[in-house]
Every structure is written in structure tokens, then in C-alpha cells.
Amino acid sequence: MSDKVRIGIIGVGTIGSVHANNYAKVENAEVVALCDILPDRLAEKAKTHEVAKTYADYNDLLADPEIDAVSVCVPNNMHAPIAIAALNAGKHVMLEKPMTLSAELGKQIIAARDAAGKQLQMGMVWRQKPSARLIKEVIENGRLGEIYQIRVKLIRRRGIPGLGGWFTTKAQSGGGGLIDIAVHFLDLVMWLSDKWNPTKVSAKTYSKFGSPIKDYHYVSMWAGPPKADGVFDVDDYAAGMVRFGAETTLSFEVAWACNAKDECYVELLGDKGGIKMDLEADPVLCTEFDNRIADITLQYDKKDEGFADELRKFCNAVQGKGEVPATGEQGVVAMKLLDAIYKSSELNCEVDV
């Protein structure tokens, strides 16, 4: 292998461009090829990112011997087939979230990884946030003690992405806000607490705002504009509780759209301390000091290059200089949890994970 990991990006929509921009910040990475099914977008992005090689078919990209690894940045229903094909072709894989449409498909990706002996990294970029890494350090130092309750709240007042497109078409996305944005925070809190054993779920999902599409009022839209003749058959709100055996519970509330103010935080409560990761404020450790109640505001370097850090760790793992920070096995656990939440909602009862 050369000094740089030679990257091919499959799918050059919004997130594919994010990957291209951030690989440019990684010293041991070079994007050498792009692939997309839309010729005009492919030509535009090749010019923007100064990449000479382009492919309309991902199989042709995977057959290119000059490519060491790929970033898979396509709709969710294509994650498994492309990741498996890439691994079978001997490429390392950086796979955007969610891992795929189900835990069973995730297991098939892991089997392909093991057979190929290649690296597989999940795109869980929230783990790279400076505040997340700080909280991880606080927990590992024992400041929280035994964690018994976790809270996740991620509320967008009007935040449905690409309304009418693949994001809101269940056959392509696998679901709505739950599989799109909740997966980030569910993965994050399991990583922070090192609790990868969800056992039971009681939850409900709702679909209240995305249909009819013409009646959806919003300020801005990721991956928009909306397609008035498109599909919306997914969830835009989910709430519930997860048990991790008999020791820990997790309550969550996640919305692409609802009639509430925007909120975004995770909170972990332990018998020695509690801590909250909030986008709007520094983390505060709620604890005791010298037999008194104390709130400790934690100072840290807020420079955030989460995507670049994530891709740098991937390239280092490809070169044998470290391990991937988000594994396929962890991706499967997250998918099992999502599967159980949707099942609980459908059956209107608590279910096993």
C-alpha cells in the first residue's frame, strides 16, 4: 500500500461531499474516484473535489485495483449490498449510518468483513465530538459511579430531511427520524456508558407532519427541497424506554417534526454524579464535593473536526496503525435496538431486543 489510503466514494450527494471535504483534511488519505447514478451531479462533484476518475456503476469502481477503501454514502437500502460487494472485492469499508435496514443484514456485512479480512467502520460521527470524548473520559475515571438511568432527547420542530425523497420512503430508508437521527444518540450513549446489552424495549412511533407533503411548513431542509409528488410513509416522532438488564434504563424522545422547541441532549445519571451533553452549553458534572452538592462546569478544547477525525481513524486502521472507533458488532447492536423499537410500536407492547 502507498503512503496514502486511496479512497473511492460511492454516492456523492450531501453526505458524500462531506466525506470528500473531510478526507482532504486527512494526511494519509487521497480520494481517487467518485461514483454516483446521477451523471450531472457526478460531473459537478468531480470538478468540485478535483477527482479525475468517475464511475456510474459501483461495481466498476470496486473493480478498480488502485482503490484501497470506499466510503459508502448511499440510501440506506443500498448499504448492505454495496458494503458486502466492496468487502468481497477486497476493499476496506467506511459505512455511513445507519448500518443497514435490519440487524440480520448487519450480520451479513460482518460475515463478509470476516471473510475478506478487511476493516469495517461505522459512520458514528457523534462519538468524535469534543464534548463526547470529554464525557467518555469523565465516565472512565469513575466520576459517575454506577450509571442507572440515561436520557436522550433530540427534538426538531421542523426537521424532516429531503421530504418526498428516499429519506421519507420506507422501502429505501427503513424508517424515519428514528433510524435517521436517533441512531446517532442511541449509539452515543451505549458507547459512553459501555452498555451494549439492551434487553427489552417499550416504545411508540408516530407519523403526524410529513403528509400531505404540500401542507408541511418549514424554515430550512437538509437534502431538500421537498418533492410534492413524493412519498412520506415513515415515522417523524418516537418515544420509549429501553432496559439494559436489571441495572440500567434509557428513556428517549426523538422527533423529525413536532410542535415543541428544538432540544438536543444526552444525560447520564450515576450514583456518584450525573452529566449532560447539550449542544447549547458546556457539560456540567452534577456531583458532591467535600460533603456538599456541587456543579462542576467542564472546560475543554471545543475545536470540532468530527468527520475528519472519524475518517483519519479509519485510514489509520486500514494502514494497521489503530482500530476502528465504531465497529460492525456495535452497529449490529444499534440495529437490533432499532428493530425492537419498531416492533414494540407495531405490537403496542414491550418486546425483547
Q: Which residues pair with 268 in a beta bridge?
A: 150, 275
pLDDT tens, position by position, 85-132: 999 999 999 999 999 999 999 999 999 999 999 999 999 999 999 999
- Give the whole-number percent of the chain exceeding pLDDT 90: 97
Q: Nearest 5°: phi and psi at 119?
A: -85, 140
Bond from prior residue into 75 cis (ω within 30 degrees of 0): no
pLDDT above 70 (res 300): yes
What Å distances lie between residue 25 and 28, 95, 131, 198, CA to CA? 9, 19, 21, 36
Q: Examine the pLDDT at 2 and tell me if it is beyond 80.
A: no
Q: What are phi and psi of 50, to 5 degrees?
A: 55, 55
At 289, give phi and psi (nearest 5°).
-140, 125
Q: Can you list the alpha helix ranges (DSSP code H) found in 89-243?
A: 103-116, 130-140, 170-173, 177, 183-193
**Top-level class of domain 5-126:** alpha beta
Asked whether the predicted pLDDT for residue 197 surpasses 80, the reply is yes
- 8-state DSSP, 213: G
Residue 153 has pLDDT above 90, yes or no: yes
The sign of the torsion formed by the CA atoms of 22, 23, 26, 27 equals negative
pLDDT at residue 57, as a whole number: 98
Cα 205 → chain centroid: 19
> For the segment 47-68, what is each residue's pLDDT rounded down to a tens digit?
999 999 999 999 999 999 999 9
For the chain, give the mean pLDDT.
Answer: 97
pLDDT (tens digit, 9 = 90+) per residue, 24-40?
Answer: 999 999 999 999 999 99
Total Cβ atoms within 10 A of residue 278? 15
Give the residue-averaged pLDDT of 173-181: 97
pLDDT at 34: 98
Residue 142's pLDDT band, with cuts at 50, 70 and 90, is very high
| The pLDDT value given to residue 272 | 98
CA torsion through residues 57, 58, 63, 65, sign: positive
- pLDDT computed for residue 1 by the predictor: 59
Closest CA to 308 of 119, 183, 125: 125
Domain ranges of the chain: 5-126, 127-306+335-352
Q: Which three cell numbers stand for residue 99?
A: 448500518
Residue-wise pLDDT for 269-278, tens only, equals 999 999 999 9
* pLDDT at residue 279, as a whole number: 80
Class of domain 127-306+335-352: alpha beta
DSSP H helical ranges for the chain: 14-23, 39-48, 58-62, 79-88, 103-116, 130-140, 170-173, 177, 183-193, 306-318, 328-347
Task: Inform me whether the pLDDT recorded for 253 exceeds 70.
Answer: yes
pLDDT of residue 330: 98
- Give the lowest-confidence range in 148-162, 237-251, 273-287: 273-287
Does pLDDT of 157 surpass 80? yes
For residue 204, give the H/E element and its range: strand 200-206
Helices 130-140/183-193 angle, 10° precision: 30
pLDDT of 280 above 90: no
